[in-house]
Amino acid sequence: MKYLLSRLYGFIVSLRVFLYQRGILSSQHLPHPVISVGNLTVGGTGKTPLVSFLAQILKKAGYQPIILTRGYKRRNPTPVRIVSDGKRILCDWEESGDEPNLLARNLEGVPIVVSKSRYQAGRSVQNDYTDPIIYLLDDGFQHLQLKRNLNILLLDATDPFGGGELLPLGRLRESIRGLKRADAIIITRSHIPFEVEALNQQIRTWNPWAPVTYFHHDVTSLYDLKTGEHQSIRGVFGKHVIALAAIGNPRVFLRDLEHFQMKIQDRFIFRDHHPYTQSDLNDVLGRSKELQAAMVVTTQKDSIRLERLNFDESQIFVLGIEAVPENPTEYKKEFLDQVEAL
């Protein structure tokens, strides 16, 4: 049954792309350049840290980045919701979705707007800012309703093509032929060993022209979720921990913990964007106490969905990460050259 559903899904997706490419279905245009950041697969490719990194480059270069995102699983029915105006966070994570809220916390001076229609989101704030506006279309590779000027495709080095099968058989949102639409390709999590030549060959089969850049994720902090107090990463070498995550690719999070020599006594892995309950957390903390673990360690995205629950100081710690290109100076110049050419 999954095989048949996968074939049907693939046909519908391919037909939709064909109709947009031929102009039978039309894309809407915003009055300022649009840079799309997206992927071919469902689940985490490290997109949120990458969007944050690009927004900071644009801001420092004198542009006004505005992030347009869907706000996946948000509970506010308002068609357009401003998460941040660049100065203040205007709603909580339940209204915006966890990833937009995380971006709003990490990015000063960068407005963030959520809407199912990214066109409406962009139009809602297009007259509110004076610096040259650049829209960052978060998770936009398949959002063909909106015309984009630069199409950046992310591939996760640990699983770039979702097992090679379309949904629901695999994790591909569309065929790998979608590589053809990419203007630039970024390989995320390249610090984890993978078959570099094999991946490059697959990419160049479908897209011989787009520049390919390698990004890794740096662990930048470990802090107490209750107090915000930071702890040295080296201070947890050899400590026994409980891993807690509800993200698209928890395997990478677990590898990060192991890389810093944390000994994972148990792991609690939930579905991406899981809305934690007090009962969920009580189970985790109970297991941590039973095993006499030093701490529970979670991700920044998870921390947003945990912080309102009841727990004590030093029970839960958050691992902070950021996206870093293989050659930061070279990549920033290349990216800004692409932006100036829009």
Question: Is residue 43 over pLDDT 90?
Answer: no
pLDDT in tens, 315-340: 999 999 999 999 999 999 999 999 99
**What is the CATH number for 254?**
3.40.50
Cα distance from N-terminal residue to C-terminal residue, the chain: 45
Does residue 259 lie in a domain region? yes
Does residue 208 lie in a domain region? yes
Q: Supply the pLDDT for residue 128.
A: 94
73 and 149 within one domain: yes
Does residue 248 lie in a domain region? yes
166 and 307 within one domain: no
Does residue 15 lie in a domain region? no
101 and 79 within one domain: yes
For 266, the 3-state DSSP assignment is strand
242 and 98 within one domain: no
223 and 195 within one domain: no
286 and 305 within one domain: yes
**CA distance linking residue 242 with residue 252, whole number of Å:** 15
147 and 55 within one domain: yes
Question: Is residue 48 over pLDDT 90?
Answer: yes
Cα-based torsion angle of the residue sequence 104, 109, 111, 112 in order, rounded to the nearest 10 degrees: -20
Q: Supply the pLDDT for residue 282.
A: 98
143 and 207 within one domain: yes
pLDDT band at 183 (very low <50, low <70, confident <90, very high): very high
246 and 211 within one domain: no
The verdict on whether omega for the bond into residue 49 sits within 30 degrees of 0, i.e. cis, is: no
The pTM score is: 0.95
Q: How many helices (H) and strands (E) does the chain have?
A: 10, 12
241 and 199 within one domain: no
Instruction: Calculate the CA 159 to chain-centre distance.
Output: 15
What is the total count of domains within the chain?
2
- Which residue range is the domain that position 225 belongs to? 219-321
**CA distance linking residue 60 with residue 192, whole number of Å:** 30
Q: Supply the pLDDT for residue 73.
A: 84
273 and 178 within one domain: no
Judge whether 2 and 162 are in contact, CB under 8 Å.
Answer: no
67 and 188 within one domain: yes
Residue with tokens 């245009």, as numbered in its chain: 29
Does residue 2 lie in a domain region? no
Does residue 69 lie in a domain region? yes
Burial tier of 292 (Cβ tally within 10 Å: 0-12, 13-18, 19+): exposed
Length of the chain: 342
Question: Is residue 44 over pLDDT 90?
Answer: no
pLDDT in tens, 56-87: 999 999 999 999 999 988 987 889 999 999 99
For 282, the 3-state DSSP assignment is helix
Does residue 12 lie in a domain region? no
For 67, the 3-state DSSP assignment is strand
Judge whether 151 and 119 are in contact, CB under 8 Å.
Answer: no
**What is the CATH number for 117?**
3.40.50.300
How many CA atoms lie less than 13 Å away from 146 in the CB half-sphere?
Answer: 33
Measured on CA atoms in the order 72, 75, 80, 83, is the torsion positive or negative? negative
Does residue 14 lie in a domain region? no
Pair of tokens at residue 112: 């963030």
Pair of tokens at residue 163: 């097992």
